[in-house]
Amino acid sequence: MDERRMDKRRQDDATLKRLIDLGIALSAERNYNRLMERILLEAKAIYNADGGTLYLRTEEDKLSFEIMRNDTMEIAMGGTTGRDIPFPPLSMYDAESGEPNHNNVATHVALSGETLNVPDAYETEKFDFSGAKKFDEDTGYRSKSFLTLPLRNYDQDVIAVLQLINARDQETDEVIAFEAALQPLIEAMASQAAVALDNQILIQAQRELLESFIQMIASAIDAKSPYTGGHCQRVPVLTEMLAEAACKTETGAFKDFDLNEEEMYELHIAGWMHDCGKVTTPEYVVDKSTKLETIYDRVETVKTRFEVLKRDAEISYLKACAREGADKKALRAKYKARIAQLEDDCLFIETANVGGEFMEDAKKDRVNKIARYKWRDGTGNKREFLDENEVYNLCIARGTLTHEEREVINNHIVMTIEMLEQLPFPKHLKRVPEYAGGHHEKVDGTGYPKGLKAEEMSLPARMMAIADIFEALTAADRPYKKAKTLTDSLRIMGFMVKDQHIDPELFELFLESGVYRDYADKFLLPDQIDDVNIADYLS
């Protein structure tokens, strides 16, 4: 008697230890798929079950197949296997009548919250096992015993259903009924599993909410300007591609560099948020597609002035011709020359207004010459043809932004850092502000906003700088420049390496890993993708 009590106590102690160990393991598991697999495999092990399925309850009150295992049939689907389960979810309610589905044992358990132990599916009429029987008919398998348990969360809602198939005798391997005495153990395990799974579901939901919110902000920034659409979406993709290439490197400068799953996610979030400060940038600056554009493009006003000068020239010509003894032929030649000059000047102003990579001093001088023309406004007052602000804008050397407007644009990175530093990021996302806020720094310390040098910047921040530059150079949605080819973009970046603006070793990795080409295949126009000899850009 005492020996039997000792055996029972040892069994109970072993069971308790197993539950404690399992609870610790489940609470420590952060990978969603591995967690679900652990739940199913532990349950299978307790009963030595041949197979099992873990269903998750969806918001539409359906049970979706998440994990499937069957040792005899060598079936392993869902979870970390990467193999999709081809079966449609089970409906808990009839689509037409709305009646609860108590015919299927899994949906019945989800609805009732009770554990069901079916010794032999072929000998019960209470539930519909036609699906299992059809599977048996097609495969030669024999689905016999079933144990189906609900997994409840803190609110006692059924969030999942665990179903085990064909318990096997430990010694003979014969299929037997699931032992009722072990049900409290499996139910205790299911309770632990439900808590762990519910935590993971909540964490996953919070993560999806955060990411959706971040992507909504990024999409709003891209939508704010029709000329930078997609920038906030493409930069994180390219940054992560470069980071993955560095992680795979086994030699050279990045042989010790690695990012785990959480660190890669941190970089992912930083990439999406790298331009969040642009929400504060005025639209008239973000959308300034020409030099004279404010709320509208003022070049149209300037063109109207040219029409006024042409009208005045015509009036002067006609009045002169009306005078007695006028040399009409000479007057007409002079008039035509004046009109031709004004039309050429107008075309020049229109061209200068577009902006470009460089404006020569001779063209700036011509703008100033035209500015000194006189014209009469609607009240008859004589005025300078171009005012001081119009001259200042038309003489912009590169692009369409003045120095002051560039300062406004550049301030977005200051606002990005300020906005991100105000957010209470959890520990595993603490470096998001540093990664996102460093993409305009240069390795020689001449960047902004902090003037950081290479050694003061993290590798992910330097990666994002390269991604931001390459995306900007190759983008096909900028109004003031034609989309650059691969060779043109890489040539410019090669100069930036020589000028110590971007990390030379990262640029080398960018080229040698083929990241530049993989990105081009996904996002560039076909006529941008030309033949590249990376040796031309490697030191």
Distance in angstroms (rounded) separating the CA atoms of residues 360 and 346:
18
Alpha-carbon distance 399 to 35, whole Å?
A: 53
**What is the C-alpha to C-alpha distance for residues 95 and 241, in angstroms, rounded to an integer?**
44
The dihedrals phi and psi of 15, each to the nearest 5 degrees, come to -65, -45
Q: Sign of torsion, CA 193 195 199 204? A: positive
Query: CA 9 to CA 377: how far, in whole Å?
Result: 105
Half-sphere exposure of 466 (CA within 13 A, CB side): 29
Residues 532, 534, 535, 539: is their CA dihedral positive or negative? positive
What is the separation, in whole angstroms, between the first and last Cα of the chain?
Answer: 84
List the one residue out of 423, 518, 438, 467 whose CA is nearest residue 232: 467
Write out the CATH class of domain 2-203: alpha beta
Instruction: Specify the fold of 225-280+414-536.
Output: Hypothetical protein af1432 (1.10.3210)
Joined tokens for residue 318: 């006609």
pTM of whole model > 0.85?
no
pLDDT digit string (tens) for the chain, length 539 residues: 466 666 556 655 565 566 666 666 666 566 667 777 877 888 888 889 999 999 999 989 999 999 999 999 999 999 888 899 999 999 999 988 999 999 999 999 999 999 999 999 999 888 989 888 998 999 999 999 999 999 888 888 898 999 999 999 888 989 999 988 888 878 877 777 777 778 878 888 888 888 888 888 878 777 776 656 678 889 999 999 999 999 999 888 899 999 998 999 999 999 999 988 888 888 778 778 889 888 888 999 999 999 999 999 999 999 999 998 899 999 999 999 999 999 999 999 999 998 877 899 999 999 999 999 999 888 889 999 999 999 999 999 988 889 888 888 888 888 999 999 999 998 989 999 999 999 999 999 999 899 999 999 999 999 999 999 999 899 887 655 678 999 999 999 999 999 999 999 999 999 999 999 999 999 999 999 999 999 888 86
Residue 93 bridge partners (DSSP): 100
Domain ranges for the chain, please list them.
Answer: 2-203, 225-280+414-536, 299-400
Parallel, antiparallel, or unpaired for β 158-168 and 175-176? antiparallel
pLDDT for res 3 = 66
What sign results for the dihedral spanned by CA atoms 387, 391, 393, 394? positive
Per-residue pLDDT, 360: 92
pLDDT of residue 233: 87
Return the pLDDT at 1: 47
The DSSP result for 186-205, as a single string, is HHHHHHHHHHHHHHHHHHHH
* Contact assessment for residue 235 and residue 474, using Cβ atoms and an 8 Å cutoff: no
